[in-house]
Amino acid sequence: MTSSDAPKKPSAAGMRRNLASYGDPGFSLFLRKAFIKAAGFSDDALDRPIIGITNTFSDFNPCHGNVPRLIEAVKRGVMLAGGLPMEFPTISIHESFSNPTSMFLRNLMAIDTEEMIRAQPMDSVVLIGGCDKTVPAQLMGAVSADIPAIQLITGPMLVGHHKGEILGACTDCRRLWGQHRAGTIDEAEIEVLSGRLAPTQGTCMVMGTASTMGCLVEAMGIALPGTGTIPATHADRIRAAEASGRQAVALAKNGPKPSELLTRAAFRNAMVVLQAIGGSTNGLVHLAAIARRAGLGIDLEEFDRIGREVPVLIDLKPSGDHYMEHFHWAGGMPRLLKELGAHLERDAMTVSGQTIGAIADAAEMVPNQTIIRSADAPLKQTGGMAVLRGNLAPGGAVIKHSAASPALLTHTGRAVVFDSVEDMVNRMDDPALDVTAQDVLVLRNAGPKGAPGMPEAGYLPIPKKLAQAGVKDMVRISDARMSGTAFGTIVLHITPESAVGGPLGLVRDGDMISLDVPARRIELLVDAAELERRKSEFTPPAHLTEPARGYRGLYLGSVLQADEGCDFDFC
Ligand code: FES
């Protein structure tokens, strides 16, 4: 047999990728085609580059309510560019419909996304995500699967209105609920408000985690420029989907793959943007997880240094006053990138084929807008977040100081300790609780393993009797997370968490705690010998010593701490 007579080795593209194993690749391909033809596909269609599209629509996820229309437009774009679109389902996670927490499920979605990309034949993939955990999960999965990928964001919802006031989910959900707790909004009005805070499909429209991730995917170059901020309900959102589908075909042919795109420079740009937008603290955890998948990791000290140099330039709630649709019409991410100038790694590549520098140079210069500030007139003089260390947080902690009370950033107070989320719920509003506005509220056993699932419980409510007396903010510290939409002088992600023996578990009621954000310190003012004695009495929470089955068992046994992104150790 001459070489020209030899059976052609199937090239690993299109339908020939990732064949099911029957011990005969030719038969595997034959069988696959036989089955897919049952759906009416022609040979011409099946010979095209195959573009996977993640379908994350769910009736339980209104943040993804526009996904069917986006898929339709992505398919149009793919076909206009000569590819074959193939939509497939993955898990969808909504913040309010995920028990115990969406963070508990993020890694499950990452595994699902990775394995479905890996198992099925596709030459590139369009990741459609939006609600907080979905985009990080998709990127974690896509980085590990490492075929060309493009992120399409579902987009922020439009603002709500009530009594002449503009409302945004969920910064105003918390503010108004606080007023309800304090007795200034009655039962009937809070019911009315529940219908006005989230008036359209799409993601929360303040600078919460979803909006933060929408900005970061542009900063990392894995979404088309300008697409991270378009409102969910606008025609431009549909056009962005079509354009993403088109570009996915180009990526299928020429790359780059996530491993080529998500470089140290891309993560540096993401850290710069995270500081400049006053982004969600959750964004830092997710970045750490994505970077770890890329074999890199996030250096918390570098992130803090960036925060000292890069001011907050975006005037959005909760750090400022406006909403995502205003940011978008002010020029969106390209304009922010332009204002960030020399802070960026300009040569970092993007899925569009342009560098970040070229995208910044081409930004639309909207006249008279005040949402995207220049470095000469920033919203805050420094970045949104600071990384704290000290004997309470040897592995680090984070504070969003752009949304904190300036007067509390240097504060020493008496600890009022809650041993768990349940303990906090039971006792916080007890009129007999020994607490003053100068105290430091401490919540523990609310970290990745402790709760489990690291709930967004770090925004401890102000004790009712203090709220009714007009107290709006107190220093609050925990190993929990906080919604990106929340505000206050709140120290989060204390690492290591108390449930695995971290020093937060050693705090007793009445201990003095010192917070010094300018010096980046958080200290428990108890002598070392006493702390050693308390350490010898430590016992982990019961759920960490009892056998656990299924995904919960996998999670409890494998989840890492916040500084490593709360990914699983084996991922
Ligand atoms: Fe989905 Fe806020 S609940 S983005």
Which DSSP category does 294 fall into?
T
d(CA 422, CA 524): 24
- Please work out whether the CB of residue 95 comes within 6 Å of at least one atom of ligand 1: yes
Atom 2 (ligand 1) nearest CA: 204
Calculate what percentage of the chain has a pLDDT beyond 90: 93
Which numbered atom of ligand 1 lies nearest the CA of 169?
Answer: 2
Residue 3 pLDDT more than 60? no
**204 Cβ inside 6 Å of ligand 1:** yes
Q: Which pLDDT score, from 0 to 100, does residue 390 have? A: 97
Q: Is the pLDDT of residue 407 over 90?
A: yes
Q: Quick check: 8 pLDDT over 50?
A: no
How do residues 475-495 score in pLDDT, each as one tens digit? 999 999 998 778 899 999 999
What is the average pLDDT value for the chain, to the nearest integer? Answer: 95
Please state, in angstroms and as integers, the Cα–Cα distance from residue 335 to each residue in 113, 339, 345, 369, 372, following that order: 32, 6, 16, 11, 7
Q: What is the distance between the terminal CA atoms of the chain, rounded to a whole angstrom?
A: 46
- Using the mean position of ligand 1's atoms as its centre, give its distance from the Cα of residue 528 in Å: 43
Which ligand 1 atom is nearest residue 132's CA? 4
- CATH fold label, 48-158+200-361: Rossmann fold (3.40.50)
Secondary structure (DSSP) of 251-281 = HHHH---HHHHS-HHHHHHHHHHHHHTT--H
Q: Is 9 exposed, middle or buried (0-12, 13-18, 19+ CB in 10 A)?
A: exposed
The Cβ of residue 54 has, within 10 Å, a number of other Cβ atoms equal to 30
Q: Where are the beta strands (DSSP E) in 65-137?
A: 84-89, 124-129
For residue 63 and ligand 1, the question of a CB distance below 6 A is answered with yes
Find the mean pLDDT for residues 303-311. Answer: 97
Q: Note the pLDDT tens digit of each residue in 193-229.
A: 999 999 999 999 999 999 999 999 999 999 999 999 9
**Does residue 371 have its Cβ closer than 6 Å to ligand 1?**
no
Helix (H) or strand (E) holding 524: strand 521-524
pLDDT at 319: 86
Q: For residue 386, count other CB atoms closer than 10 A to its CB.
A: 24
Query: Which helix (H) or strand (E) segment is 241 a member of?
Result: helix 235-254
pLDDT tens sequence across 92-147: 999 999 999 999 999 999 999 999 999 999 999 999 999 999 999 999 999 999 99
pLDDT at 11: 57
- CB 223, CB 139: distance < 8 Å: no
Model confidence over 434-486: pLDDT tens digits?
999 999 999 999 999 999 999 999 999 999 999 999 999 999 999 999 987 78
Average pLDDT over residues 179-188: 91
Nearest residue to 52 (alpha-carbon basis) of 252, 261, 256, 257: 252
Query: By the 8 A CB rule, do 297 and 325 touch?
Result: no
Q: Given a cut of 80, is residue 244 above it in pLDDT?
A: yes
Does any ligand 1 atom lie closer than 6 A to the CB of residue 352? no
The ligand 1 atom at the shortest distance from the C-alpha of residue 61 is 1
Q: How far is the CA of 333 from the centre of ligand 1 (A)?
A: 20
- Alpha-carbon distance of 422 to 404, in angstroms, equals 25
Comma-separated ranges of CATH 3.50.30.80 domains in the chain:
386-546
pLDDT at 2: 39
CB-CB contact of 449 with 500 (8 Å): yes
CA 410, CA 388: separation in Å to the nearest integer?
Answer: 12
φ, ψ at 530 (rounded to 5°): -65, -40
- According to DSSP, the residues that pair with 52 across neighbouring strands are 86, 125
Q: With CA atoms as reference, report the closest residue to 516 among 352, 349, 397, 380.
A: 397
**pLDDT at position 7, please?**
39
What is the C-alpha separation between 34 and 131, in angstroms, rounded?
37
Q: What is the DSSP string of 298-346?
A: --HHHHHHHHHHSPB-B-BTTTSSB-HHHHHHTTHHHHHHHHHGGGS-T
Protein residue closest via CA to atom 1 of ligand 1: 131
Mean pLDDT to the nearest integer, 12-39: 94
> Which among 40, 38, 41, 4 has a CA at the least distance from the CA of 14?
41
Is the model's pLDDT at 498 over the cut of 70? yes
Q: Which CATH architecture has domain 386-546?
A: 3-Layer(bba) Sandwich (3.50)
Q: What is the CA radius of gyration of the chain?
A: 25
- Specify the domain boundaries for CATH 3.40.50.2300 within the chain: 48-158+200-361
Contact (CB, 8 A) for 88 and 128? no
